[in-house]
Amino acid sequence: MTTASDLIALEERYGADNYHPLDVVISRAEGCWVWDVEGKRYMDCLAAYSAVNQGHCHPRLVKALVGQACRVALTSRAFRNDQLGPFCQEICELTGYQRMLPMNSGAEAVETAIKAARKWGYTVKGIPENQAEILVFDGNFHGRTTTIVSFSADPDYRFGFGPFTPGFKILPYGDPAAVKAAMNPNVAAILVEPIQGEAGIVSPPEGFLRELRALTTEHRALLMVDEIQSGLGRTGRLFCFEHEAVRPDVVIIGKALSGGMYPVSAVLADDEVMGVFHPGEHGSTFGGNPLGAAVAREALKVIVDEKLVDRSAELGDYFLAKLRAVSSRHVVEIRGKGLWIGIVLSPEAGGARRFCEALQQRGMLCKETHHTVIRIAPPLVITREEVDWAVEQLADVLTTL
Ligand SMILES: Cc1ncc(COP(=O)(O)O)c(C=O)c1O
């Protein structure tokens, strides 16, 4: 039998060394649980960075995937398929936007939004050619393409990858005065995460998104919200921006849009913005393919039918309250919204990694973020009893290590 260490050795020998995973080799999954090659069961408290909000191998998603794969998987956009139209209609009706542009990875959807904003800036707002600016924020994470890392503030994401794409200005996250000062007629858009996931579940001060909405409206720029990780129920609302009752001009989604079955991402906007794209100007061979569209249609229906948004709000509050009741000398802060929680450890705690490894021993998978934060983001199908179990494991490692 091939053991976990054999499989890890293969990956280390033949794979590029661009990740630092926990050494658990998963071969099967269902709901909130995964099993390693030796048959040990773990609770998945990362949910593939919120891609598996609907739970692993959701039977309805498996059925949609297999059923569609047996009919037609890919047509390219040279021809039409019978899934894309209904997908566009259903997602627009669910979210209240007039149009959707489908892509595959999250980074491609962010790139799409950047292109839309620039083109809108030139053709609708009247910004002089090649002068468009997009305002972004310190601590941002929007993906890994060359353009996106051009405006990352993290040296690891940038080192060795220049020259970078110009046209972005990085501002402090949560500081409306800095945004106000940066506003000028060449600003086409602000691109923001409503909560910064990769930075360690960092929320801006209350009212920040409302301030961004007011400033973009006043200066005729687009407010573009990256909901790739925060959206589709994760924070107890369909979109995280709903907590501040704003309506962005552009919404970027991915991850849970396919419930983890298949990469599907999308950009949502109204006619004025989406109207900048004409045939041939933007696209992707797989974007809008029938397999992805069929899975995404079902993934959205599962979120609605199983009331996963309400569940995230209710169990998230419950999880946070129980965790905050644990007294540990290592914990500086516990923060989050919905089923998206960051446990911030003190610098003396010795890093979040050793806590994640201890949790792994106890059958719970979490991931450290920026060395000092334990990130918790279970599938939204988690039950109250499973939350109780997760808190027990966390309390155990936070009080005994
Ligand atoms: C907020 C945000 N934007 C964009 C991305 C990039 O998505 P992908 O990895 O699918 O390209 C991520 C991935 O973690 C993300 O969290």
Best substitution site from 154, 228, 235, 369 to test ligand 1's pocket, by max atoms within 8 Å of Cβ? Answer: 228
Return the ligand 1 atom nearest residue 252 CA: 3
Closest residue to atom 13 of ligand 1, CA basis: 143
Return the ligand 1 atom nearest residue 143 CA: 6
Residue 349 phi/psi, 5-degree rounding, is: -75, -10
Task: Give the per-residue pLDDT at 2.
Answer: 85
Return the ligand 1 atom nearest residue 230 CA: 1
Best substitution site from 141, 154, 157, 284 to test ligand 1's pocket, by max atoms within 8 Å of Cβ? Answer: 141
Closest residue to atom 8 of ligand 1, CA basis: 106
Q: Mind spelling out the 3-state secondary structure of the chain?
A: CCCHHHHHHHHHHHCCCCCCCCCCCEEEEEECEEEECCCCEEEECCHHHHCCCCCECCHHHHHHHHHHHHHCCCCCCCCCCCCHHHHHHHHHHHHCCCEEEEECCHHHHHHHHHHHHHHHHHHHHCCCCCCCEEEEECCCCCCCCHHHHCCCCCHHHHCCCCCCCCCEEEECCCCHHHHHHHCCCCEEEEEECCCECCCCCECCCCCHHHHHHHHHHHCCCEEEEECCCCCCCCCCCCCHHHHHCCCCCEEEECHHHHCCCCCCEEEEECHHHHCCCCCCCCCCCCCCCHHHHHHHHHHHHHHHHCCHHHHHHHHHHHHHHHHHCCCCCCEEEEEECCCCEEEEECHHHCCHHHHHHHHHHCCEECEEECCCEEEECCCCCCCHHHHHHHHHHHHHHHHHC
Closest residue to atom 2 of ligand 1, CA basis: 142
Closest residue to atom 4 of ligand 1, CA basis: 142
Determine the distance separating the centroid of ligand 1 and the alpha carbon of 1, expressed in angstroms. 36
Active centre residues (catalytic): 141, 226, 255
Return the ligand 1 atom nearest residue 263 CA: 10
Determine the distance separating the centroid of ligand 1 and the alpha carbon of 109, expressed in angstroms. 9
Determine the distance separating the centroid of ligand 1 and the alpha carbon of 126, expressed in angstroms. 30
Determine the distance separating the centroid of ligand 1 and the alpha carbon of 39, expressed in angstroms. 30
- Ligand 1 interacting residues, C-beta cut-off 6 A: 49, 105-107, 110, 141-143, 193, 197-198, 226, 228-229, 254
Looking only at the bridges linking them, the beta strands covering 33-36 and 41-44 are antiparallel
Closest residue to atom 10 of ligand 1, CA basis: 106
Return the ligand 1 atom nearest residue 49 CA: 14
Its sign, for the CA torsion 44, 50, 51, 57, is positive
Determine the distance separating the centroid of ligand 1 and the alpha carbon of 141, expressed in angstroms. 7
- For each of the chain's 401 residues, which pLDDT tens digit applies? 689 999 999 999 999 999 999 999 999 999 999 999 999 999 999 999 999 999 999 999 999 999 999 999 999 999 999 999 999 999 999 999 999 999 999 999 999 999 999 999 999 999 999 999 999 999 999 999 999 999 999 999 999 999 999 999 999 999 999 999 999 999 999 999 999 999 999 999 999 999 999 999 999 999 999 999 999 999 999 999 999 999 999 999 999 999 999 999 999 999 999 999 999 999 999 999 999 999 999 999 999 999 999 999 999 999 999 999 999 999 999 999 999 999 999 999 999 999 999 999 999 999 899 899 999 999 999 999 999 999 999 999 999 99
Determine the distance separating the centroid of ligand 1 and the alpha carbon of 265, expressed in angstroms. 10
Whole-prediction pTM value?
Answer: 0.98
Task: Give the per-residue pLDDT at 1.
Answer: 66
